[in-house]
Amino acid sequence: MWFLAILVAILPSLSAQSGGNFEMRGEVPAGISAELRFRAQGALGYRVRFFGDGVGQLDDPGRREGLLAAPASPIAGGKPIAFRLTANGPKIELEIDGRPAWSYTEKVAAIPSIGAASFGPENGPLIRNLQLRALSDTPRSFAERYGPGIGERVPEFRAVDQAGKLQDLVSLRGPKGLWLLFVRSADWCVYCKTQLVELGMRAEAIARLGYNVAALSYDQPAALAHFARRKSIAFPLLADPDSKIIDAFGIRNEAATTGFAKGVPHPGYFILGADGRVEAKYMEEDYKERITASAVMSGSFGERAAPAGAAVDRPRIRVTPTASVSVVRGGQKVTLSAEAMLGRGLHAYAPGAPQEFIPVSWKLSPSPLFKAADPEWPVPETTKIFGFDEKVPNYTGVFRVSREISLAPQAALLKESAGGALTVQGEFRYQACNDHLCFPPETIPLTWNLLIEGADRERVPKELQRPDR
């Protein structure tokens, strides 16, 4: 049922507490500098702007820098703008003047999908024909259900590390904060040991970003010390043998009620700011699927990934396959990228360009060894192309498109791969143009070569292992 917002003439803003899922329509009069905040909780939340050269742009001020989405072609302000915004679960879509402007899918699972929707008090009453329809609630994501949310302060705690040193948030954090990884065990959990080793390999790079790293499990300090010596782990491994810190964070695995696994946490990363508040959170319901520190660095911090295959040079473009990690293990989530560098004075059309243009595309060959997510394209430039009346989305210079793949379990990787190596094949298609002509489109084959590391099944000495409980 639609609710006509004639009350907007009286109320300073329109609010919707519909579980964050809604459909909103309205018309922004010419010359109005309106901003729509939605799924807002306090000062945090998404924002869509309706003024100047930024009409229809989506961002998330207070949590992330830059644009999340923008119309393929710029929409000029200074004229009436009819819009339709739909927020349903992780998917957010905007139509302007009856045409799709963009579709955005939230990838950070811990970003809240609930909150208020409102225009600013100055211009809210001026929005015409405003209609709001609540949609059915979407179940909260796994990361939303467990642990402190984005923007919330984590509980204070003290824990002994593998060297016997008492640590707390103050001693652990770096200038910008702390990456805190919760794992089930550094003794018997092969997925956890893989994640810990990979975090150790990236600790120095993370420190250059201003963050320290630490990990916490329910293991005894002596067990953590044994694993740290064996794997040359230098960052703090924190012991929580009574699961008090795990319970304080609210991330205990309720399914593990008996046996040696009783008290383990749901594994995941908490990225904490210097003030102890959660900046980002990465948790998976399937404990066998783990995000890597490298994937977080490249996806959320913009770190350039290392080449994972031979670069392909063509007269007008160079494309390099990169990966967030070069050595993989079953169950990992790995970010693959295609980094393109166009020649000087050239551009390539971005997805969303009018149908008479050939946009850039990237496909991966299907494989039973991984599941591939959709590509994540960077926000393009929008410029007026010679001989075309409208501004068209395009890329120039260097740009990178990425996608996440979830690897099959370790046994399947080792059984189906050739000699302990995983090869991912794909095609990168583009058409290069200058200000006067377009060259014939090209399809470039790309190959990502990844090594498969065997699972670490070595355990700590018997006397250091957790007893059944």
Q: What is the mean pLDDT of residues 398-413?
A: 91
Give the sheet arrangement for strand 361-364, strand by strand: 327-328, 442-452, 421-430, 361-364
**What residue spans define the domains of the chain?**
3-139, 144-285, 306-452
Do residues 285 and 276 make contact, with C-beta atoms less than 8 angstroms apart? no
Picking from 67, 25, 467, 24, the residue whose alpha carbon sits closest to that of residue 259 is 467
CATH class, 3-139 region: mainly beta
Q: How far apart are CA 186 and CA 155, in angstroms?
A: 23
Q: What is the pLDDT of residue 3?
A: 36
Q: What is the pLDDT of residue 30?
A: 87
Are β-strands 391-396 and 381-384 bridged in parallel, bridged antiparallel, or unpaired?
antiparallel
Report the topology of domain 144-285. Glutaredoxin (3.40.30)
Q: What is the pTM of this model?
A: 0.71
Residue 397 backbone class (left: φ over 0; alpha: ψ -120 to 50; beta: rest): left
pLDDT tens sequence across 9-28:
333 344 444 457 889 999 99
Distance CA 115, CA 41 (A): 6
CATH of 306-452, one of 1.10.357, 2.60.40, 3.30.9, 1.10.3210: 2.60.40
Contact 448, 426 (CB under 8 A): yes
Angle (deg, nearest 10), helices 190-208 and 221-231? 70
| pLDDT exceeds 80 at position 278 | yes
Tell me the Cα Rg of the chain.
25
Least confident range of 10-19, 299-308, 323-332: 10-19
Q: Average pLDDT of 33-53? A: 85
Of residues 248 and 324, more confidently modeled = 248
**409: pLDDT strictly greater than 50:** yes
Taking residues 162-172, report their average pLDDT: 98
Give the H or E element holding residue 404.
Answer: strand 398-407
User: Does residue 221 carry a pLDDT above 80?
Assistant: yes
- The pLDDT mean for the chain works out to 87
DSSP H or E run through 199 = helix 190-208
pLDDT computed for residue 388 by the predictor = 63
